[in-house]
């Protein structure tokens, strides 16, 4: 492996991608690609020629794909677009990485599961997505894994951070605007800080190029989330308590908050396979939330609680 790997980061402008730009910097030369090309090359994942050109011009030693179509409800009316970005683009990435054995890290989602269970999902549990978003993300997973490419597919859930659109920032805005909120309390999952996800990804990448990890031996599917579990109401309550908001929160069932795309009722992911393979700690979601809120205060972000 090269001493200074060229790491192609696709989706560098998203909430995980933005964190990866910083965490991957000590590992190698980060090439930050995004749709608008604001900080590096531009790439359109709906255009196979654009993606092929990106690989040809950047000649990466590793690829980290943090790009995705994530508009869960809109995907129900834009299935072709969601499939192009979440599924077809991954099939092409697999093709481009398989022969030259370029390591790939890709992120997937708890939406590949139906949520009809009462135990944390393991990697080998049947995937039964109920939404277009979930089906297209599963298609991307399968394209990578079935290709034999040296790929790590990291399924995660309930991602939030200091940038982008996510539950934490939405709550912080609503706490300023409302005196009362009704929050779903019968969907159970695990909030996952985007920085934690970026940090473990960078550690894995470093060990592939500078340590003891052999990508051919560890390639495959892993679950990576924060520790513990809660409901959206529980997550909102923790944010409210940590920020001192006086907004009143009322728990409601999913039936009182209908959405075009069905959500998994229970999507806690078992992270044992990841922890046993890589020996990396995954902090409890409450600990990560506290660190993220502290980061917002330090940045003096417009979302600062």
Question: Which residues form the catalytic set?
Answer: 133
Question: Rounded to an integer, what distance in angstroms lies between the CA atom of residue 133 and that of residue 76?
Answer: 8
Question: Rounded to an integer, what distance in angstroms lies between the CA atom of residue 141 and that of residue 133?
Answer: 12
Scan for tokens 């996952």, then name that residue.
Answer: 192
Residue 81 CB partners (closer than 8 Å, separation 6+): 46, 69, 75
- Where does 3-133 show beta strands of DSSP type E? 6-10, 29-33, 62-65, 104-109
Tokens representing residue 13 in the block: 């402008």
**Are 82 and 133 contacting, i.e. CB atoms less than 8 angstroms apart?**
yes
> What is the maximal distance between C-alpha atoms in the chain?
57
Residue 179 CB partners (closer than 8 Å, separation 6+): 246, 247, 248
**Are 139 and 147 contacting, i.e. CB atoms less than 8 angstroms apart?**
no
Residue 220 DSSP one-character state = E
């Amino acid at each position: 492996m090269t001493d200074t790997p060229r790491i192609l980061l696709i989706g560098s402008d998203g909430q995980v991608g933005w964190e990866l730009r910083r965490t991957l910097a000590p590992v190698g030369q980060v090439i930050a690609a995004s749709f608008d090309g604001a900080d590096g090359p531009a790439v359109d994942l709906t255009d196979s020629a654009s993606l092929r050109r990106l690989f040809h011009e950047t000649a990466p030693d590793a690829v980290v794909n943090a790009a995705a179509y994530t508009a869960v409800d809109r995907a129900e009316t834009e299935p072709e677009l969601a499939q192009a970005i979440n599924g077809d683009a991954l099939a092409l990435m697999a093709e481009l990485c398989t022969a030259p054995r370029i390591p790939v890290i890709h992120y997937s989602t708890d939406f590949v599961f139906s949520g009809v269970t009462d135990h944390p999902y393991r990697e080998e549990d049947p995937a039964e997505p109920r939404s277009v978003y979930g089906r297209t993300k599963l298609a991307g997973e399968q394209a990578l894994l079935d290709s034999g490419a040296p790929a790590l597919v990291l399924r995660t859930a309930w991602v939030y951070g200091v940038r982008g659109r996510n539950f934490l920032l939405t709550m912080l805005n609503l706490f300023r605007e409302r005196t009362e909120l009704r929050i779903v309390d019968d969907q159970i999952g695990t909030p996952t800080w985007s920085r934690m996800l970026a940090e473990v990804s960078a550690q894995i990448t470093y060990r592939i190029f500078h340590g003891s990890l052999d990508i051919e031996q560890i390639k495959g599917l892993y679950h990576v989330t924060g520790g513990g579990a809660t409901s959206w109401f529980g997550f909102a309550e923790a944010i409210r308590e940590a920020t001192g908001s006086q907004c009143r929160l009322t728990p409601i069932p999913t039936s009182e908050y209908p959405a075009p795309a069905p959500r998994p009722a229970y999507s806690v992911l078992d992270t044992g396979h990841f922890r046993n393979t890589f020996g990396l700690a995954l902090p409890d979601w409450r600990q990560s939330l506290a660190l993220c809120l502290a980061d917002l205060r330090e940045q003096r972000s417009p979302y600062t609680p």
